């Protein structure tokens, strides 16, 4: 039961944090901190040559928000960003196909997270019927298991991010359309530094949150035991 609840907490928590850290403010902070607001974008010119441009941070954030709305299917978004310079599609056909796959994966993850919330609520309800001690112990142990599990995966990603990132893509995108060249606008908008920074922030936020939940449950459990012990001592 503890492992099942821990898995549900991890799935629901990580998906929720991924949505939070996908926002424009984290993107802008990561762009400033890692210098990829100066990345080169390749804009097809009308003369069938290529021009290289560098967009300011406000433009990058706008392009990110546009892409994010499409990937998350916000309000039925149906179009990917167009280049601010000439109005043509920003991404190639291959990049658009990959983003379509990302959109489908996000839809599946949202459904999985919702199912995880329902499963966690059902497990906690069963524990509650056995009394407050049972639910506090279960919550503490499950939060610790989830934190340790995410910390272990995060440690691997921290020391070997590139192979871990590649393995992630091979699992979720087995069709293999996620490798692009150096002239990719998708990689210019989302370089490896972005994904590394987002991954670290999500992992740290989850570990801290799960650790705090475990600590709170432990303190509440200890206080409950102390009250129970005091009541036994005072009884005639």
82 token code pair: 């167009």
* Average pLDDT for runs of 10 along the chain of length 236: 91 96 96 90 69 90 95 83 87 93 93 95 90 91 96 91 90 83 92 94 96 94 78 47
Q: Do the Cβ atoms of 200 and 158 come closer than 8 Å?
A: yes
Q: Do the Cβ atoms of 20 and 68 come closer than 8 Å?
A: no
Give the per-residue pLDDT at 233. 43
CA 182 from chain centre, in angstroms, equals: 25
Torsion of CA 131, 137, 142, 148, to 10 degrees: 170
Tell me the backbone φ, ψ of residue 41, rounded to 5 degrees.
-110, 145
User: pTM for the complete prediction?
Assistant: 0.89
Place of tokens 């509650």: 128
Q: Do the Cβ atoms of 193 and 30 come closer than 8 Å?
A: yes
Q: Do the Cβ atoms of 164 and 203 come closer than 8 Å?
A: no
Q: Do the Cβ atoms of 116 and 12 come closer than 8 Å?
A: yes
> Which candidate, 187, 154, 198, places its Cα nearest to that of 27?
198
Q: Do the Cβ atoms of 26 and 198 come closer than 8 Å?
A: yes
Residues 6+ apart with CB under 8 A from 102: 71
Q: Do the Cβ atoms of 42 and 230 come closer than 8 Å?
A: no
Give the per-residue pLDDT at 30. 96
Place of tokens 């919702």: 114
């Amino acid at each position: 039961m503890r492992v099942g609840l821990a898995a549900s907490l991890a799935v629901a928590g990580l998906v929720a944090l991924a949505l939070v850290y996908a926002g424009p403010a984290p993107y802008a902070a990561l762009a400033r901190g890692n210098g990829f607001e100066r990345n080169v974008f390749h804009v097809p010119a009308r003369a069938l040559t290529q021009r290289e441009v560098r967009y300011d941070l406000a433009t990058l954030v706008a392009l990110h928000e546009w892409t994010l709305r499409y990937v998350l299917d916000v309000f039925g978004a149906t179009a990917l960003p167009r280049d601010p310079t000439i109005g043509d599609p920003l991404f190639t056909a291959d990049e658009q196909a990959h983003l379509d796959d990302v959109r489908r994966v996000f839809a599946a993850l949202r459904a999985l997270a919702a199912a995880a919330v329902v499963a966690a609520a059902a497990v906690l309800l069963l524990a509650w019927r056995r009394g407050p001690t049972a639910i506090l112990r279960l919550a503490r142990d499950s939060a610790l298991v989830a934190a340790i599990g995410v910390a272990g995966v995060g440690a691997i990603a921290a020391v070997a991010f590139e192979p871990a990132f590649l393995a992630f893509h091979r699992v979720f995108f087995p069709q293999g359309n996620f490798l692009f060249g150096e002239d990719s606008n998708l990689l210019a908008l989302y370089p490896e530094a972005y994904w590394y920074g987002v991954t670290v922030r999500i992992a740290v936020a989850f570990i801290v949150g799960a650790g705090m939940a475990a600590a709170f449950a432990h303190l509440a459990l200890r206080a409950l035991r102390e009250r129970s012990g005091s009541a036994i001592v005072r009884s005639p």
